[in-house]
Structure 1
Amino acid sequence: MPIPLPAATDPTESLADWMELEALRSKDKSTSVASLVKLLRRTGSTDAIVSAGGDSGSQVTQSIAQDAFGEIENRVKACGKDRYPFEVTRGALNVRPKPEAFTYTALLLMSINKPTAGHEGTSALFENICARATLGYLGGSANGVVSVRFGSPRKSPLARLNQAIDDLCLSVGEGDGCRRPQLATHTGDDGLDIVAWRSFPDGKQGKLIAFGQCAAGASDWQDKLAEMDARSFVKKWMRAPLLVDPVRLFFIPRRVSSRDWESAGIDGGILFDRCRIVACYHSEPTLEKRCLDASKIMLKGLK
């Protein structure tokens, strides 16, 4: 996958992504603010900004590159230093040893690649990562939290939607099974990718339940923000209502600008961007191996 050349008009988040990807691709496994400045000047993409009333091209380019590096520093804080695959020094970004072993690397590479389908595809892998992040966010297994990937494709005996709903209701202890099994013999998911809940020792109804939607695609995530309606899903497919409406979660393997954050949260629910996923992720050996293998493949494709 070729890394697109950065332009001064690109969002700050995209320029920060470029710095990370360039560091991963480069022979010396590093990049810097100076490298980004040099490339932006070479492309001449600051010309439109300067002609519209900006300062000199040199000052504008330097400011844009510094903003991108500021975003890099924010990512370190948002992920947790130990979970970020780069060492950040004054004006420079250096790849840590074995970057493919970091969940962040897998998510960064997913954000520029078209998701692949199937049980072993990157779309399912992303959903499994998100399920583990949900587990961590809600408190972990030690606190009675269960988090499962509900999305399609599912393996037998839960491949069909009615089978998956019956199993989900039994596990959650609410919903009373699939309301219209004859209409749910297909293998889809009706927009529901992740389900998690935090139970009480008494086993009674009325608990925190979360419904999550994942958007692994590079460009269509904003179109999916309002795609999954938790209350409608319950009314449509479950015999009995859940005592408390599910909380909505939305997951993407990218960073979201401050400008878009509020509207994305309103439309999609609690927003998990790349750094939030990494910060909450609870490791699991089998999934770690899948992430490692996928990252190695995607890293080889960087050009």
Structure 2
Amino acid sequence: MLPRPSNSDPAPSADWIEASCLVSRDAALSRSDIVGILSVIGESAPEEQAETTWIQLQGRRSVLGAEYPFEIEQESVALRDTNPARNAYLAMLLISIRAYIAEARTNPITDYTRLFEYLTAEAARRYVSGQSVRIGWPREAPVPAGFGDLIEYLSDLLREGPTGPVLNEPDKDAGADVVAWRPFADGRAGQLIVLAQCATGGNWKEKATELQCLEWQRYIQFAVEPIRVLAIPHIEPDAGRWVKYSSRGGVILDRVRITELLGGDPYGQLADEVNDWLEGEIVRLRLVESEAGLS
């Protein structure tokens, strides 16, 4: 198994079980395996912790149904055959555990943040049943690199404006990594627009207020104020905290919601990128597992 997360809350613990199952060459773990590992590393009440974790896993399966990538039985968890939506879940899982398992943090940051931003862009496009574009840093053609040019580009793309002068150019992207919108056939301003911030680290709660539509209104005079979205590869099971951070950061697209949105129709070349990245991460994490000596 992979090293135990530094955060022993139910969600990171469930992530640990899922990731360990994914990385395991047997693609399965028994509850007794998990209890045994918890005992070896000195956790108190391992049976109780295993039960709490199992409840988390069953909750995820209940929401996602066929798109959940694991089969949860009373005494075991096993990896299902993959499909594009399940692979997206697994990729976000391996991005998420970087926040809690120090040994998992070795690749350059742009490797997975870019991938998550594109997953968010596709999920947001489906959420609004419209169009989307990734504008996160570093930007990629045809999206302009300079912020002033980006504003003009978005104004033309969305048919919103006029644009205001960028007097004090913000760092990189002014908090927005993805823009999604649902245009009308008349091509006029005044439409559903989403500005999404992607936060992959464990400090995502601190970033909930970084994206402000008022700031963006200075750059593009939207006819209707955009909706804020906070996209995270993590899962927050606590209902109170969920409402708290939704009120601060906007609509939360977490791993479960993004997977739900990506279910059904495949998502083209991005699905191939996800699969390639996932395969590489599994190979790398098997070395981490071997060095941890918890198998």
Same fold (TM over 0.5): yes
Asked whether the 8 Å contact 1:197–1:208 carries over to 2, the reply is yes
**Partner SS, residue 111 of structure 1:** helix
* 2:115 corresponds to 1:116: no
* 2:227 corresponds to 1:250: no
Quote the residue 2:41 is aligned against.
Answer: 43
Which piece of structure 1 moves more, 256-265 or 124-133? Answer: 256-265
TM-score by length of 1: 0.83
Q: Structure 1 residues 300 and 227 mapped into 2: Cα distance closer, same or farther (>3 Å)?
A: same
Task: State which of 72, 77, 94 in structure 1 corresponds to 2:62.
Answer: 77
- In the aligned structure 2, how far is the partner of 1:279 from the partner of 1:222? 22
**Partner SS, residue 35 of structure 2:** helix
Quote the residue 1:155 is aligned against.
Answer: 140
Q: Structure 1 residues 80 and 130 mapped into 2: Cα distance closer, same or farther (>3 Å)?
A: farther
Matches within 5 A, 1:158-177: 158-177=144-163
- In the aligned structure 2, how far is the partner of 1:73 from the partner of 1:22? 17
Deviation string 1:215-235 (CA, Å, 9 cap, x unpaired) is 112x22122111111122222
* 2:264 corresponds to 1:279: no
Q: Structure 1 residues 117 and 14 mapped into 2: Cα distance closer, same or farther (>3 Å)?
A: closer
Quote the residue 2:241 is aligned against.
Answer: 260
* 2:214 corresponds to 1:231: yes
- In the aligned structure 2, how far is the partner of 1:279 from the partner of 1:149? 20
- In the aligned structure 1, how far is the partner of 2:54 from the partner of 2:196? 31
- In the aligned structure 2, how far is the partner of 1:150 from the partner of 1:234? 17
Task: State which of 107, 110, 116 in structure 2 corresponds to 1:126.
Answer: 116
Percent of aligned positions with the same letter in both sequences?
29
CA positional deviation for 1:117: 4.3
CA positional deviation for 1:182: 6.0
Asked whether the 8 Å contact 1:225–1:264 carries over to 2, the reply is yes
CA positional deviation for 1:99: 7.7
Deviation string 1:251-287 (CA, Å, 9 cap, x unpaired) is 1111113142121111111111111111112642211
Quote the residue 2:199 is aligned against.
Answer: 215
Which structure 2 residue ranges, 5 or more long, are not aligned? 99-104, 290-295
Task: State which of 128, 141, 144 in structure 2 corresponds to 1:138.
Answer: 128
Letter of the aligned partner of 1:271 in structure 2?
I
Q: Structure 1 residues 183 and 13 mapped into 2: Cα distance closer, same or farther (>3 Å)?
A: same
Asked whether the 8 Å contact 1:160–1:187 carries over to 2, the reply is no
Which piece of structure 1 moves more, 72-81 or 193-202? Answer: 72-81
Asked whether the 8 Å contact 2:64–2:256 carries over to 1, the reply is yes
Quote the residue 1:142 is aligned against.
Answer: none
Count how many residue pairs are aligned between Structure 1 and Structure 2.
274
Q: Superposition RMSD on alpha carbons, in Å?
A: 2.3
Deviation string 1:82-121 (CA, Å, 9 cap, x unpaired) is x222122223111123589711111111112347345xx2
Quote the residue 2:25 is aligned against.
Answer: 27
Asked whether the 8 Å contact 1:69–1:91 carries over to 2, the reply is no
Quote the residue 2:4 is aligned against.
Answer: 5
Which piece of structure 1 moves more, 106-115 or 13-22? Answer: 106-115
Letter of the aligned partner of 1:215 in structure 2?
A
Quote the residue 1:295 is aligned against.
Answer: 278
TM-score by length of 2: 0.85
CA positional deviation for 1:4: 2.5
* 2:185 corresponds to 1:193: no
**Partner SS, residue 176 of structure 1:** coil
Which structure 1 residue ranges, 5 or more long, are not aligned? 47-56, 140-144
Q: Answer with 1 or 2: which has the greater Rg.
A: 1
